[in-house]
Amino acid sequence: MNPLTRLLSTWWLNRKASLAVLLDRKDSAIQDLRRIVEIDPRNELARAALGNLRAETGDQAGALREFLALVEVNPANAEAWFNLGFIYDQRDELEDADRCFRRSVQLRPSIDRAWYGLGLVLVRSGKLHEALDAFRRNIKLQPFSPYGYYQLAMTLHHLGEAAEAEKVYEELKKFEPKYAATLRRDIDRTKPQAVNRKSEVPLTQEESAAHST
């Protein structure tokens, strides 16, 4: 296929895929995007969109393949590394999730959700002290998102750092009083546990909800 034909074909298929997404016809969009990457395997936008659609439709293995192919095409793609970390986390493959989140923030330190994801993985792995830095970086980048504050406070609480957890609670209360009330409840009803294994840190209902955000 000559370059002009390839360009026109991928343009048309991309338009079709975009319309299919708008019409909530994700299977059709996936087929169009698959055709694009067959024509142009180095098309990063199509590969990323295909990976995201596969993830949205519950095809974790397919999404994993697309994002692995994407970082092979462009190893400096921080978003792709984040998406890989997210999928590995969902699959409970924590070592791979840790590695991918770290690569994402190494490439782009400002990607706040990768710091948050890394913090969650570190908590689940029982590496609570390491998780503190990740949550603090998330908060610095997203100073008005309650999730990083919540996880930072609960991690401090589990480490027995009651005074520091209280400071985080007071900061959260200034801009998210309802979420702060939930944090207060969970701190008060959860026994501090400085541990080394994720299975020894029982997540509260709110922690579990925050983890899925």
Q: Is residue 140 part of a domain?
A: yes
Structural domain that includes position 137: 114-213
CA distance 55 to 47: 12
Nearest alpha-carbon partner for 79 in 57, 98, 100, 58: 100
CA distance 140 to 152: 12
Instruction: Measure the CA angle with vertex 122, ends 109 and 112; round to 5°.
Output: 25
3-state helix, strand, coil in the chain (%, to 5): 75, 0, 25
Q: Is residue 7 part of a domain?
A: no
Q: Is residue 71 part of a domain?
A: no
Give me the chain's average pLDDT, please. Answer: 86
Contact assessment for residue 74 and residue 80, using Cβ atoms and an 8 Å cutoff = yes
pLDDT, residue 16, reads 66
Q: Residue 198 sits in a domain of what CATH number?
A: 1.25.40.10
Q: Is residue 65 part of a domain?
A: no
Write out pLDDT tens, residues 144-188: 999 999 999 999 999 999 999 999 999 999 999 999 999 999 999
The count of structural domains within the chain is 1
Q: Is residue 142 part of a domain?
A: yes
Q: Is residue 67 part of a domain?
A: no
Q: Is residue 144 part of a domain?
A: yes
